[in-house]
Structure 1
Amino acid sequence: MYYIVGFAVGAYLCLFLVSCLLKKHRGPILGLASIVFLIVCELCFVNKTEWHKIRGAQMLVAMKVISIAFDTDFGALQCLPSPAEFTGYVLCVGTCVFGPWVPYRDYISIFNKPLWDTKWLWRIFTSVLLAFLFLTVSTCWVYWLIPDGAWRWWIAYRDALSFRSSHYFVSFLSEASALMSGFGHHEDEPWGLSVARPQFIEIPRSLVQVVVYWNVPMHSWLKNYVFRTTKPLGSFAAILSTYAVSSLLHGLNFQLAAVLLSLGAYTYVEYVLRQKLSVVFGACIQVRPCRRDCSHHSKEKCWTVVLGNVGLGLVVMFHLSYLGVMFDMSSKLQEEGYNYAHTLAKWSILSYASHWVALGTYIFYLLV
C-alpha cells in the first residue's frame, strides 16, 4: 500500500513541478518518470513475490497519471486537477485494484446526477456471473476436457485457453467493480462498460481484433497516448513502441515482453499482408470488417472471402495457442513471474513454429 500511495503522491508532485516549469511535454516526462519508478522499485526495493501482487495496481496508477499529463498537453484538461480530485481519480475504489483504466472525464461524470436502477443491478449481476463462469473454465473444465496425455498442440491450446479464461475472470470482475462505483452510464447506452470481449478473441478474425478486444480500455489508452504520439516515426515504429511501453508497464518480465513484442511483429505482418491481398483480389479480407460501401467487388458474404477469413482466423488461433502456452499454473513461477528459461523451454517444445510461420508470412507478403 505504501508503494502505491507513495507513487501517487510523488507523481502528483512531479506533474505539478513540470507544469510550473513547462507548458508542454508533460506526457512524455511523466511517462518516462513512471516507467523508471516501476523499474527501480522492482529491481531494488521490492522482492519479486510481493511486487507481482501489486504490479497490476501500480500499472493502473501509472496509466492514470500519464493520461492526465497527456490530456493537459492536448488541452483536454484546462488545468491540473486539485490534489483531492487527483487522489480520488487515481485511488478510486472501483478501479484501483482490478481496473479498468478510465479517463479522468469519466471519473468526474460519475458525480453528475448519479443514477441507480434495475438495469444497473442486472449489469453488475451478469458481470459477476460471467467472471466466475470463466474462473471455473480456467481452473477446472479445460483440464477435464484436455488431459495431460493429449497431443502437445492440444496441451498448448489448453494452457493458453486456461490463461485467457483467467484474464476474462479478472476483466468481468473489473467491470462489476467499476459499475458498482457508477462508471459506464451513457445517455445512448445505459451502463455500457466493456473490458474484454471473449467472443472476438476465441473466434478471431485477426490478431488486430484480438489485441483490441483483449482489454478495450487499455487499448484505448495505448492508442491515444502512445501510438498516436509516435505515429510520425512510421507505422512499424509506432506499433513496436506501443508494445514496448505495454511490456514495460507490466514490469521486467522476459516472458511477457517476448510475447508482446512477438505479438507486435505478428500484427504488423498480418496487417500489411491482408491489406495487400485485399487490393490484389479486391476482397474484404482486411484485418477489420469493411464498410458496406467499400470498393471491393468481393464482399464479406462471398464464399471465397468467407473461406479466406476463416483460414486466416485459424492461423490466428494457432498463434494464440503458441504465445499463451507458457502462461501455465505453476504456482512458484506464478508467484515470482516467469523467467526467460521457462519461456524458451515452452516454445522449444513447439519448435518455435509460430515464429517460423510469421517469418514465412512476411516473406510471402514481400513476394506478392
Structure 2
Amino acid sequence: MNIDEYDYDLYIDKYYNPDAINYDEETFFDVLVNCALLSIQSILPILSRLICTNLCFGVLTSVFSDKLPQQLFHSLSGICGIYLVLTLSSAQGKVMILLLFGLSYICIKFTVIIQRFIRPMLYPYLSSSNLVKCALIAFSILCQHKFLDQETWMEIRGIVMIFSMKMISLVDDIERESIILPSFTNFFGYIFSSANILFGPWISFQDYMHLYRQPTKKNILWVLSTIKQVFISLLFLIISNCFATYLISDESNLLLVSYREALSFRNSHYFISFLSEASMLAAGFKNSKIWKNDHEWRYIVTDPIKIEFPTALAIVVTYWNKPMHDFLKKYVYRAWLPLGRFPAILLTFAISSFLHGFEPKVSVVLLSLGVFSYLQYALRDFVSKAFNVCVRVYPCTRVCCHRYKRNDIRSRTLQILFSITTVLHLIFLGVLMDSSTDEIGIFEKWRNLYFYSIWIMFVDLLIAFL
C-alpha cells in the first residue's frame, strides 16, 4: 500500500500502490482481483506474525495459568514483543526502541528517587510525571530531527507513541500511589507486550497485570472472535485502498471527492483499530465488563457506526480510539482542568499531537478538532438553554426537564443539522490526511473547500458567546 507516512492510525506496510489502477476502466471484479486481493496479500506477512505470536502467548498463559511464575509470564510477554519489534526493517529503528526502553526504566527509578527530596511547593512543576513527559518529548524531537532519517522515524513512530503512553500512565499511577514501582521484569513485559507493541491499543499497567492474576478462559469463541476481527479489519483495508476510489471517481464534484479522501483515511484507521483488537483478543485480553463472561470476546477500540453517522464531534473524539481517549482524559485532561475547560482541551490535543510525532498536518487536524468540538459543544449547550430543547451533545441521564424532549420534532431537526455540520467538519479535517496534502500543502487543500469549517466555527462562536 502506498502511504507516505507511518502513523499509529496508518501503520501499513508500503508494498502496493493502488494509485496505479485506472478505476474508470475497471469493473468491480477487476478491482477485487487487482487491488483488494493484492492489498490483503501485502499485509499478510505482518498480520500473520502478529496474530500467531499472540495466539501462542494466549495458549501458553492459559494452559499453564496455575503453574506459570509471574516473572516467567512477564518475560514471555516481553520476548514475544521483542520478536515483533525485530521484524522491523530498520536496524537503527530497533536500536532506538531498545535504547528508549533502557533509558525509560532508569528515568523512572531516578524520578521516583529524587521526588522524595523535592519541596512540596515545587511538586506541581517537578513531579515525576512532568519530568518523564519532558524527557519523552525531548527524545521524540531528537529522534525525528537529529538521530533518525524520516523513513526510519515514520516506521517506529507508532511504537514510540504506545511506549510513551505506557510510560506516562505508569509514572502517573506510581506518583498517585495507585501502584508500586514495578520490577524490571514486570516493566519489560508491560512495555513490550506483544498484544499492543505494534498497533496498540494503550492499556494501563493494572489492566496488563489483570491478565496474569485472573487469566481469561479460552474456548472456540476466543479463536472465532479473533478471526472475525481480522476479517473486519481486512474489509476496512480494501475499502480504504480500493473501493472508496472505485465508488467515488475523480470526476465527481469537489465535496464528494473530499468525502472520499476523508473516508479512505477513516477506513485505514478502522483497519488498524480492528487489527489491534484482534491482537489483544489473541493474547487473551478483553474488556473488563465482560472479563468473566466466557461467551463474549471484545476489546473495543473504535466504533465506526458512531463515527460515520455522528451526532457530535465530541462523540467522534470519544469513539475514534476509545483506549487513547481514556488515557488522555485520565492522565492529561484532568490534570489541566483547573486551568479551565477550553485550555485543558487545547493542551490535551497538544499532547496528543506530541504523541503522534509532531507531524504538521496531524497537529493541525488535532488542534482544529479540539477547537471545533469545544465550540460545537458550547453552541449546543447554549441552544438547549435558550430554547429549552434537549439538544446537548449527551442526552439527559435522568428525567429530562426540557420543554422539547429528545424525540420532539424540533429537537430531532436540530440534531440532524448538528450531525450534518459534524460530517462536514470530518470531511474538512480528513482531507488533510490524504497524501496529496504533502504536495500542495494544508492551505491549498482547505482553500479548495473555501475554508467552510472555519466559517462554521465563527458562526458557532458568535451564537454561543456573543
Give TM-score, length-normalised by structure 1.
0.94
Deviation, 1:192, is 3.3
Mapped pair 1:136 → 2:238: yes
Counterpart residue identity of residue 101, structure 2: A
2:423 to 317, 323, 326: 317
Mark the runs of 5 or more structure 1 residues left unpaired by the alignment.
none
Deviation, 1:64, is 0.2
Mapped pair 1:245 → 2:351: yes
1:59 to 149, 161, 164: 161
User: 2 CA distance for matches of 1:194 and 1:123?
Assistant: 12
8 Å CA contact 1:4, 1:61 repeated in 2: no
Corresponding position of 1:345: 444
User: 2 CA distance for matches of 1:350 and 1:157?
Assistant: 11
Corresponding position of 1:12: 105
User: 2 CA distance for matches of 1:185 and 1:134?
Assistant: 22
Corresponding position of 2:95: 2
Deviation, 1:292, is 4.2
Counterpart residue identity of residue 420, structure 2: L
Corresponding position of 1:275: 381
Q: 1:180-218 CA deviation, whole Å, 9 max, x = no partner?
A: 111115464543311010000000010000000000000
User: 2 CA distance for matches of 1:13 and 1:323?
Assistant: 40
Q: 1:111-161 CA deviation, whole Å, 9 max, x = no partner?
A: 124221233223212211110111111011111111001111111000000
Counterpart residue identity of residue 358, structure 1: M
Corresponding position of 1:163: 265
**Higher alpha-carbon deviation: 351-360 or 208-217:** 351-360
Mark the runs of 5 or more structure 2 residues left unpaired by the alignment.
1-93, 117-122
Cα-Cα RMSD: 1.5
1:178 to 272, 280, 283: 280
Q: 1:4-41 CA deviation, whole Å, 9 max, x = no partner?
A: 12112111101100101104621111111111111111
Corresponding position of 1:264: 370
User: 2 CA distance for matches of 1:106 and 1:366?
Assistant: 42
User: 2 CA distance for matches of 1:314 and 1:292?
Assistant: 27
Deviation, 1:277, is 1.1
User: 1 CA distance for matches of 2:304 and 2:347?
Assistant: 26
Mapped pair 1:193 → 2:299: yes
Counterpart residue identity of residue 202, structure 2: W
Listed as ranges, the matches of 1:8-87 within 5 Å are 8-23=101-116, 25-77=127-179, 79-87=180-188
Number of residue equivalences: 359
Listed as ranges, the matches of 1:88-127 within 5 Å are 88-114=189-215, 115-127=217-229
Counterpart residue identity of residue 115, structure 2: L
SS of the residue 1:325 aligns to: helix
8 Å CA contact 2:229, 2:277 repeated in 1: yes
SS of the residue 2:146 aligns to: helix
Deviation, 1:326, is 2.2
User: 1 CA distance for matches of 2:395 and 2:261?
Assistant: 29
**Higher alpha-carbon deviation: 67-76 or 185-194:** 185-194
Deviation, 1:295, is 2.2
Give TM-score, length-normalised by structure 2.
0.75
Identical amino acids, percent of aligned pairs: 36
User: 1 CA distance for matches of 2:338 and 2:152?
Assistant: 39
8 Å CA contact 2:159, 2:199 repeated in 1: yes
Mapped pair 1:233 → 2:317: no
Deviation, 1:297, is 2.8
